[in-house]
């Protein structure tokens, strides 16, 4: 765990999440996901995530887990949320062992995203782009850059 961390919490305060400040500030770790299930599970347009190594995340409190079998990517995604106030806390995809997607709505301030996933699901009235954001129609392609980025986080691929 890095020396300096930043913490966020769910709406009721029952669950708090701490992540390293340096990972939080890296735009390349921040992504918006427009897949149908992210939107539906959060009651929102898209989930807004900090992707990092599970080892770097400290969670206090006990989130409720939902194993979501009906995803666009075909894998069962684990979705964690507060069982009191319903705030989404994180998601984990078994395709990327060791990687966690912490829901950034828990934090303040909110860091700038570097990527947007499942843009094919964005409604027509929301096509405006964010400066410097890499847009992907679905999951990103497995490029060498992506592999390197995942390996840096200790993800088994
Ligand atoms: Zn809560
Ligand atoms: Zn998603």
Residues in the chain predicted with pLDDT less than 50, given as ranges, are 1-2
CA dist 15 and 19 (Å) reads 14
Residue 113 lies in a domain: yes
pLDDT at res. 13: 98
Which residues are CB-contacts of 22 (< 8 A; sequence separation ≥ 6)? 2, 4
Q: Which ligand is nearest to the CA of 64?
A: 1
Q: Is residue 157 part of a domain?
A: no
Can you give the residue range of the structural domain that contains 17? 5-152
Kindly identify the ligand whose nearest atom is closest to the C-alpha of 9.
Answer: 1
The CATH number of residue 85's host domain is: 3.90.1590.10
- Separation of CA 3 and ligand 2 centre (Å): 30
Say if 34 falls within a structural domain. yes
Count of the separate structural domains present in the chain: 1
Q: Residue 55 is inside which H or E element, if any? A: none
Q: How far apart are CA 69 and CA 116, in angstroms?
A: 22
Ligand 1 centre to CA of 64 (Å) is 10
46 Cα–ligand 2 center, Å: 7
Residue 104 lies in a domain: yes
| pLDDT at residue 129, rounded to an integer | 80
The three-point CA angle 92-88-78 to 5° equals 25
Residue 130: predicted pLDDT? 86
Domain membership of residue 63 (yes or no) is: yes
Ligand nearest to the CA of 68: 2
**Which residues neighbour 48 within 8 Å (Cβ) at sequence distance 6 or greater?**
30, 31, 32, 33, 103, 104, 105, 110, 113
| pTM (2 d.p.) | 0.93
């Amino acid at each position: 765990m890095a020396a300096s961390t930043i913490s966020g919490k769910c709406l009721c305060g029952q669950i708090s999440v701490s992540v390293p400040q340096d990972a939080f500030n890296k735009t390349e770790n921040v992504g918006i996901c427009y897949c149908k299930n992210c939107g539906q599970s959060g009651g929102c347009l898209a989930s807004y995530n900090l992707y990092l190594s599970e080892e770097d995340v400290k969670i206090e409190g006990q989130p409720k887990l939902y194993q979501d079998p009906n995803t666009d990517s075909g894998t069962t995604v684990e979705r964690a949320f507060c069982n009191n106030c319903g705030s989404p806390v994180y998601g984990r995809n078994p395709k990327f062992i060791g990687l966690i997607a912490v829901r950034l709505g828990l934090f303040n301030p909110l860091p700038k995203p570097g990527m947007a996933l499942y843009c094919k699901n964005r409604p027509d009235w929301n096509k405006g782009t964010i400066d410097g954001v890499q847009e992907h129609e679905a999951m990103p392609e497995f490029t060498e850059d992506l592999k390197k980025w995942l390996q840096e986080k200790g993800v088994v691929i």
